[in-house]
Amino acid sequence: MKVRTRFAPSPTGFLHIGGLRTALYAYLYAKGKGGDFILRLEDTDQTRYVDGAVELIYSTLRETGLNWDEGPDVGGKFGPYIQSERKSLYMDYAVELVEKGGAYYCFCTKDRLETLLDENGQRKYDKHCLSLSKEEVAKRIASGEQYVIRQNIPKTGECAYTDLVFGEVSFDFKDMEDNILMKSDGMPTYNFANVVDDHLMEITHVMRGTEYLSSTPKYNLMYDNFGWERPQYIHMPPIMKNSKEKLSKRHGDASYADFINSGYIKETVINYIALLGWSPKSDQEKLTFEELKNLFSVEGISKHPAIFDEKKMKWLNGEYFKAMTEQEFFTHAKPIIEKSAVAGMFDDEYLSKLMKTRVELLTQIAEKLDPLAEYGDWDLEILTHKKMKTDTEIAKAILPEILNVMKDIEWTEEKVHDTLLALVEKLELKNSQVLWCFRIAITGLANTPGGATEMAKIFGKDTCISRIEKTIARLA
């Protein structure tokens, strides 16, 4: 049988990385088995619908290469793939389930439901309407009374099933409620629609978060009532912010767009989230999309919560930068440099080359380069540095010497470097003393995004010479 997995997001906001990981695993699993990956939009809860959320799902999945074989926009033989467009078919299945004893009509009012509290003070439906006769139900429906359809869950007993990650799991029916399957507006709830759709769309492997581990028995009960084959289940561990808190979209943590905006590239996001709850057999951490497709397996999915480690994700992003060619990195860096404070001031390709090994996030490019845009009356005290064995007096003595030897040289990095070192030797100074004084004089900054010769190359000869002269004059 061909493997068919699905990603079934609810368009309720941005695409949280937990959701993206679900999509990724479902995609990788299907592709690794030569199967199909399906996108289905679960929008039956219209009150939670957020404008633009659907477009964001499409664009994020496309951008990250998680292309679906069937889905709302591309179609497929099991469509429509948007639940609200499938509204008419759920009622027939709900009626069938009622006939098979797996569900019943419920006419209880909101006021009555408010009065129902179980022994733990939790509101739990008491199966009141289960005892209504078929005739009475028909009469009340015919008279236009509002109703819902609830699942009929046994009061006792347990339901066990095998999850491909968690193994054999079992839950007591007594802890479950007769949830609503069809709402009074004729829309199915998630609890019903997911079962009907997974069956009709011939989904072989249902992959979702562990929060569904304990409700799956209810779904299995429906598959059994209908006489349908249950799918296989693959539940994925939660992603935690730390050992106690879950990374959650409700707290506004970490959507795909947030990561991109904060300077990650999509390759890192995909690579890193693949490792949140899964690991390959080796300890390789930098894995391309192609490698993930080849290596992904259910055996590598962990039962334990994954802790999101931003430091590690940053490191990985930096590794991607290092592995790029200069030209590849420049395509990422260029738009940032063009919007930075140094836009149009220097050789952008050179700046990009300099940043490639020095940043872990694209946003750090502007942070590092922006200070180069200004050269005001900087604090002369930064010339004083104990470890470099410099101070303003030493600078006062060294800078005229530097000026002297630099004036007539050809301005290449190599020449600047060799000239400065020759001066070190001639004056019997330390490398650090000459390089520090030179670098500070030409940049006016204690911290620069590169060494002395690199700064010399960025600013060019004329600027450097005039800045050294200016510093000499200020020290006089």
Measure the CA–CA gap between 187 and 54, rounded to whole angstroms.
19
Q: Which of 10, 364, 433, 443 binds ligand GLU (CB under 6 A)?
A: 10
For residue 200, CA distances in Å to 14, 73, 86, 252 come to 28, 18, 11, 34
By DSSP bridging, strand 205-209 and strand 232-236 are parallel
By beta-carbon proximity to ligand GLU, the closer residue of 9 and 238 is: 9
Shortest separation between residue 10's beta carbon and ligand GLU, angstroms: 4
Stretch binding ligand GLU (CB under 6 A), from 7-15, 142-150, 265-273, 438-446: 7-15
Q: Which of 5, 8, 278, 354 binds ligand GLU (CB under 6 A)?
A: 8
Cβ contact 319:357 at 8 Å: no
Burial state string for 364-403 with b = 16 or more CB within 10 A and e = fewer than 16: bbbebbebbeebeebebebbbbeebebbbebbbebbeebb
CA dihedral 138, 143, 146, 151 (to 10 degrees): 0
Of 127, 116, 108, nearest to 177 (Cα)? 127
By beta-carbon proximity to ligand GLU, the closer residue of 201 and 292 is: 201
Beta-carbon count within 10 A of 126 CB: 16
What are all long-range contacts of 357-360, with beta carbons under 8 Å and residues at least 24 apart? Answer: 357/321, 357/322, 358/449, 358/450, 359/263, 359/318, 359/321, 360/314, 360/315, 360/317, 360/318, 360/321
Q: Which of 9, 11, 18, 237 binds ligand GLU (CB under 6 A)?
A: 9
Stretch binding ligand GLU (CB under 6 A), from 6-14, 70-78, 108-116, 257-265: 6-14
Peptide bond into 231 cis (omega under 30): no
Shortest separation between residue 87's beta carbon and ligand GLU, angstroms: 16
- Is residue 352 within the footprint of ligand GLU (CB under 6 A)? no
Stretch binding ligand GLU (CB under 6 A), from 8-16, 252-260, 289-297, 357-365: 8-16
- Is residue 208 within the footprint of ligand GLU (CB under 6 A)? yes
Measure the CA–CA gap between 179 and 183, rounded to whole angstroms.
10
Cβ contact 148:112 at 8 Å: no
Cβ contact 293:67 at 8 Å: no
Q: Which of 5, 152, 189, 194 binds ligand GLU (CB under 6 A)?
A: 194
By beta-carbon proximity to ligand GLU, the closer residue of 43 and 360 is: 43
Q: Active-site residue 387, yes or no?
A: no
- Is residue 267 within the footprint of ligand GLU (CB under 6 A)? no
Measure the CA–CA gap between 223 and 97, rounded to whole angstroms.
10
Q: At 349, list the tokens.
A: 């390709």
Shortest separation between residue 288's beta carbon and ligand GLU, angstroms: 27
- Say how many residues touch ligand GLU, by CB under 6 A: 7
Beta-carbon count within 10 A of 469 CB: 15
By beta-carbon proximity to ligand GLU, the closer residue of 22 and 352 is: 22
Stretch binding ligand GLU (CB under 6 A), from 5-13, 121-129, 163-171, 453-461: 5-13
Q: At what angle do helices 190-200 and 216-226 cross, to 10 degrees?
A: 50
By beta-carbon proximity to ligand GLU, the closer residue of 236 and 354 is: 236
**Set 33, 249, 266, 286: catalytic member:** 249
By beta-carbon proximity to ligand GLU, the closer residue of 176 and 342 is: 176
By beta-carbon proximity to ligand GLU, the closer residue of 22 and 443 is: 22
By beta-carbon proximity to ligand GLU, the closer residue of 42 and 163 is: 42
Show contacts with ligand GLU in window 16-45 (CB under 6 A): 42
Catalytic residues: 249
For ligand GLU, the binding residues (CB under 6 A) are 8-10, 42, 190, 194, 208
